[in-house]
Amino acid sequence: MTTELVDGHARDALVAAAREAELLVLGARGSGGFPRLLVGSTSLHVAAHATCPVIVVHPAADRAAAGGVVVGVHGRAPEDRVLTFAFEAARQSGLPLVAAHAWSYPLATGIGHASGPVFEESHIKAEQERLLAEVLAGYRQNHPEVKVTTVSVRSGAARELVALSASHQFVVVGRHGAARGPLGRLGSVSQAVVQHAQCPVAVVPAD
């Protein structure tokens, strides 16, 4: 263990340190009077801009949880780094892995507006489950020792991952957002999970 005292803003020093680190761990220390908004601006900024994976540990992270590792699977965005991190985390800790994929009905665009056509939910669900299986196939083959279960639900991704965080020990999300704004590439799903999860959250740059 080594220590370093840096003269400067914490978030700038941590982002700089991330350039030479394999992993960065932060506490979710927030303020402002919102009891369910527990993540401070420093943690959010670092999670949005660090070049290495960032783990944000919440105050409630010491409570017992029966589940293992949860990883959010987009299905179409680049996520090799995200899934590799999640499988390795599960393997090294000896925990099972839940791959969670949330989906919604696509919108059909009409003249001047978008309308929701009639879909057969079972067909859409089967297609999403097939997509999830295809995405995970290679990782399962490379990590046969990791017990993997899948969850494919018609829901919001952030809502599903936050719900799973209540009964699991660790959640892994990718950072897919556009490189603009104060939170850089930290998209709405990752931001919501970091802010509201009840267990440690790893934010992994997807590219």
Kindly tell me the burial class for residue 49, based on how many C-beta atoms sit within 10 Å of its own C-beta (0-12, 13-18, 19 or more). Answer: buried
Nearest residue to 13 via CA among 4, 39, 191: 4
116: tokens are 């929701």
**Contacts of 98 by beta carbon, 8 Å cutoff, 6+ apart:** 67, 68, 69, 70, 71, 148, 149, 150, 151, 164, 168
The fold for domain 23-97+122-205 equals Rossmann fold (3.40.50)
pTM of the model: 0.84
pLDDT tens, per residue, the chain with 207 residues: 889 898 888 889 999 999 999 999 998 765 444 444 445 688 888 999 999 999 999 876 556 678 999 999 988 777 899 999 999 999 999 999 999 999 886 655 455 555 455 556 678 888 889 999 999 999 999 999 999 999 999 889 999 999 999 999 999 999 875 555 555 567 788 999 999 999 999 999 987
Which pLDDT value is given to residue 28?
Answer: 79
Return the half-sphere exposure (C-beta side, CA atoms, 13 A cut-off) of residue 2. Answer: 1
Domain ranges (residues) in the chain: 23-97+122-205
